[in-house]
Amino acid sequence: MSNQSVQTTSTSSDKIKVALAIFAAFAGVVGFYYLAGQPGLTRTLVLVGGLALAVLILYTSTSGREFLSFAKEAVRETRKVVWPSRKEATQITGIVFAFVFVMALFLWLTDKTIAYFLYDLILRK
């Protein structure tokens, strides 16, 4: 079995782009709170503009494109999931509730039995 190491190489320009994207997102959030006296639309536009600029800058970097590819693949995989029908979900939920009830009853009985032996028979309190 071969154990190959995977190395991700990142150029300094990619690191600068990621740093600029983080700065743009941070600036959008700070601008949103700094403009507290302005109308809500202005504040929202500053926030969305900062985040959009961050996404655009991040998209030009290699790591940003890899993340976008990963996100697309994740969405594609969730579409392949076979979700249970309403009837199946209801039955499974009922089974879980029944199991929880039985376990709670078992733990309560175990607790009372141990308490009886300890306090009534052994310690006589």
Mean pLDDT of 3-15: 69
What percent of the chain clears pLDDT 70, i.e. is strictly above it?
Answer: 91
Helix (H, G, I), strand (E, B) or coil at 77: helix
- Tell me the per-residue pLDDT of 76-100, one tens digit each, with 9 for 90 and over: 999 999 989 999 999 999 999 999 9
Confidence of residue 108 (pLDDT cuts 50, 70, 90): very high
Structure tokens of 58?
Answer: 């991040």
3-state helix, strand, coil in the chain (%, to 5): 80, 0, 20
Q: What does pTM read for this prediction?
A: 0.52
* 118 secondary structure, DSSP code: I
Residue 116 has pLDDT above 80, yes or no: yes
pLDDT in tens, 35-61: 988 899 999 999 999 999 998 998 888
